[in-house]
Structure 1
Amino acid sequence: MDYPRQLLDLPRMLFSVTFIALMAIACFWVVQPFILGFAWASMVVIATWPLLIKIQAILWGRRSLAVLVMTLLLLLLFVLPVSILVSSIVENSTPLLDWARDPNRISLPTMLWLQDVPMVGNKLYTGWQTLIAGGGAPLMTKVQPYIGRSVTWLLSQAFSLGSFLFHCALMILFSVLLYIRGERVALAIRHFAIRLGAERGDASVLLAAQAIRAVALGVVLTAIVQSVLGGIGLAVAGIPVAIVLTVLMFVMCIAQLGPLPVLIPAMIWLYWSGDTTWGTILLVWSCVVGTIDNVLRPIFIHMGADLPVLLILCGVIGGLLAFGMIGLFIGPVVLAVSFRLVWAWVNEAPSPGKMHDPEKHLGE
């Protein structure tokens, strides 16, 4: 029996695709304010899920008590430091801007302590004084506008903390919900991934979770430890605006630059001001803080996955420029997940060394 042939209904297809596209755009428009907060919460929950399970086992298997403990930890790690940072920025922003914009307040230090350097101290001091007398002022005049712009940009980013606090509140709220329904959400995501890409889709979800945990453990956790220890050293040594410098140190550590770009100028300032005792103490402490990542990072990376340093650096800078302060966390994770997925897809094909030599076959 012959059935009538179905004709291609092109207008129907166009209207269907248009309707689906409009619904997708409308949904994105509605959930847009919550995307960054939910993405941040997903990263936090994936990275800390093993800790939640351990706490739940300790608290008689009660998920509610474990979620309460994790919520308190998130408040302690995010809300409290941000509140202290806001108050510190409000107190120190005006003097810092005045200092950066006034050329008369920016001058090269005399560095009298150079004379005490063995063997080459007098030559170093004489050369430094010659630089100050001959070209120090013009040099600082040229550098000063860039210093002012840099400080103004950093403070503008800091003053956008209102948006950061909003996303931080959303992150905590979504984290609580994900902690409560984590298994169901993970199962739904894996089911959706299987629907899209079968086994490869499910493997992609697992690889993405591994990359997120790698960034959280190998990068963020190491940066938190180093910046906290470095901030303690700055505060004990009496460095001004130690809280702001601690946050800057945290950014440097996430960018894989380490805490020394902040600690070394602090040591120089202590020696320059004549406080050689605390300068030496901070020098010893900086050696400990600057090298502790060599011990921590291999341990944390073993718990996650190894990632290229350049990838993390690009993620930090790009995330900061694209999303503000929250981009410090989202940027590296986005690039890390993409890198792991692309690399897994590339490794599905044999490497060039294992393939047959085409010239050999052509010669035959």
Structure 2
Amino acid sequence: MPSSVKIESRHWVLIAALALAAYASYQLIAPYLGPIVMAFIISLLFYPIHCRISHRLPTLPNLSAVLSCTLLTFMIVIPLLVVFSSIIHQGSTFSRDSYNWLTTGGVKEVLGHPYVVKLMALFDKYLPFEPLDAQEIVRKIAATASKFGAQLLNTSAKLLGDATNFLINFMLMLFVLFFLLRDHDRIVATIRHVLPLSRSQEDAVLNEVEQVAKSAVLGSFLTALAQGAAGGFAMWLAGFPGLFWGSMMAFASLIPVVGTALIWIPATLYLLLVGQWEWALFLAIWCAVVVGSIDNFLRPMLMQGSSGMSTLLIFFSIIGGLNVFGLIGLIYGPIIFAITLVLFKLYEVEFKDFLRHQDEH
């Protein structure tokens, strides 16, 4: 008995030391966790293609991984550069036209519109604020327009910094991806070896992580892409720069609750103010029905995975992940919820006799 107690104490010391070392290691890699997780997700999505490449080069694992990373780079970077340059061109053109409109009396024309005059009169009558002064509004907008150029310079500098950070993170992601693809089988075998679970339980956890990681990417980013494409097409038909505003709608779709309405509602109001009520009606109906249905049906369908998470859980996993982790939380949140559900199912199976006894008494 004393020897068994001694062994048990030694084990607890080892577990505590391992936990402390793991926490310290996490602190070291925490600043780079985003690229590491993205490399893990992309390795799951890209692994079938890598298998075909490595099958043709069975004795050259390093070359196979390099070719896979190179192929992935061309698949991601070149389309992004083309789209990004088009967005910058359309965005700069739109910004210049907006600035010219602001400085050539466009605001006065809008404020003099009969609908706007009636709306301001209702505000003055029913809202407990100071009466709205059209001249004061024009003055403030003109002051804002005078600062527009400086803000454009700051935005350009920020975009340049973001592009630099993206390039650094992308290179780090590729570096991690190389080892994940090359040593895939060894990594999976190591994870299975250290997990204190049975083989069936390991299969359940690992399969669920893989499934939900894939569905999180598909659910979030493919839905955003589909909404951006559908919304950008409608904006282009209505006379707006389609690629620019479609991209803005794709980013806005990642915001829970409001989503693409942040873009198309102001656009619809603008079309009403300039007298294009037919296009305003088309844009409102298209975005509310078509773009909205993409988010309501495509995202839950792609993100349910094998765990069968309900739409309510998916919703809270997304907004919770965004709140805690930022944009990468779109992936972290569903994975955390899915692992929790799988562990809960394993708990039910492992303690089914105890739970049945509790129910009977």
Task: Please indicate the TM-score interval, normalised by the length of the shorter structure.
Answer: 0.5 to 0.7
Q: What corresponds to 1:197 in structure 2? A: 197
The answer to whether the aligner puts 1:38 opposite 2:39 as a matched pair is: no
Displacement of 1:330 = 3.4
Displacement of 1:184 = 3.5
Question: What are the superposed Cα offsets for residues 283-315 of structure 1, whole Å, 9 maximum, x if unpaired?
Answer: 354232222456645763587654333434434
The answer to whether the aligner puts 1:133 opposite 2:134 as a matched pair is: no
CA distance in 2, matches of 1:355, 1:14: 32
**Partners of 1:111 and 1:272 within 8 A in 2:** yes
Query: Please, which moves more after superposition, 339-348 or 73-82?
Result: 73-82
CA distance in 1, matches of 2:132, 2:265: 20
CA distance in 1, matches of 2:22, 2:179: 24
3-state SS of 1:197 partner: coil
Say which of 160, 175, 178 aligns to 2:177: 175
Displacement of 1:38 = 0.7
Say which of 316, 319, 332 aligns to 1:317: 319
Unaligned runs of at least 5 residues, structure 2: 58-63, 99-106, 134-139, 145-150
Q: What corresponds to 1:121 in structure 2? A: none
CA distance in 2, matches of 1:28, 1:357: 41
Displacement of 1:352 = 11
Task: Spell out the pairing of 1:352-363 with structure 2 (5 A cutoff).
Answer: 358=360
Structure 1 letter corresponding to 2:72: M
- CA 1:139/1:218 → structure 2, altered by over 3 Å: closer, same or farther? farther
CA distance in 1, matches of 2:312, 2:131: 32
Displacement of 1:353 = 11
Q: Percent identity?
A: 21
CA distance in 2, matches of 1:90, 1:351: 67
- CA 1:258/1:322 → structure 2, altered by over 3 Å: closer, same or farther? closer
Q: What corresponds to 1:72 in structure 2? A: 74
Question: What are the superposed Cα offsets for residues 130-175 of structure 1, whole Å, 9 maximum, x if unpaired?
Answer: 423325665989xx9xxx9xxx9xx9xx878365554344234433
Task: Spell out the pairing of 1:1-364 with structure 2 (5 A cutoff).
Answer: 8=6, 20=18, 23-50=21-48, 52=49, 56=52, 61=56, 67-76=69-78, 112=114, 128-135=119-126, 138=130, 161=162, 163=165, 166-193=168-195, 196-199=196-199, 200-239=201-240, 243=244, 246-247=247-248, 249-253=250-254, 255=256, 258-286=259-287, 287-293=289-295, 296-297=298-299, 300=302, 306-325=308-327, 327-348=328-349, 350=352, 358=360
Structure 2 letter corresponding to 1:133: D
CA distance in 1, matches of 2:112, 2:356: 64
Displacement of 1:37 = 1.3
**Partners of 1:208 and 1:337 within 8 A in 2:** yes
- CA 1:21/1:190 → structure 2, altered by over 3 Å: closer, same or farther? closer
Query: Please, which moves more after superposition, 202-211 or 248-257?
Result: 248-257
Structure 1 letter corresponding to 2:266: P
Question: What are the superposed Cα offsets for residues 83-128 of structure 1, whole Å, 9 maximum, x if unpaired?
Answer: 77789889999999xxxxxxxx8xx9677469xxxxxxxxxx96x3
- CA 1:328/1:167 → structure 2, altered by over 3 Å: closer, same or farther? farther
Displacement of 1:233 = 3.1
- CA 1:89/1:132 → structure 2, altered by over 3 Å: closer, same or farther? same
Structure 2 letter corresponding to 1:228: A
- CA 1:15/1:184 → structure 2, altered by over 3 Å: closer, same or farther? closer
Query: Please, which moves more after superposition, 18-27 or 332-341?
Result: 18-27
Displacement of 1:261 = 4.4
- Computed over aligned residues only, the root mean square deviation of the Cα atoms, in angstroms, reads 5.2
Query: Please, which moves more after superposition, 281-290 or 221-230?
Result: 281-290
CA distance in 2, matches of 1:21, 1:303: 31
Structure 2 letter corresponding to 1:38: I
CA distance in 2, matches of 1:324, 1:89: 25
CA distance in 2, matches of 1:338, 1:233: 39
- CA 1:18/1:215 → structure 2, altered by over 3 Å: closer, same or farther? closer
Structure 2 letter corresponding to 1:198: S
CA distance in 1, matches of 2:87, 2:340: 33
Structure 1 letter corresponding to 2:263: V
Unaligned runs of at least 5 residues, structure 1: 97-104, 115-124, 360-364
- CA 1:27/1:48 → structure 2, altered by over 3 Å: closer, same or farther? same
> TM-score, structure 2 length as denominator?
0.63
**Partners of 2:235 and 2:245 within 8 A in 1:** no
3-state SS of 2:253 partner: helix
3-state SS of 1:307 partner: coil
3-state SS of 2:265 partner: helix
**Partners of 2:303 and 2:314 within 8 A in 1:** no
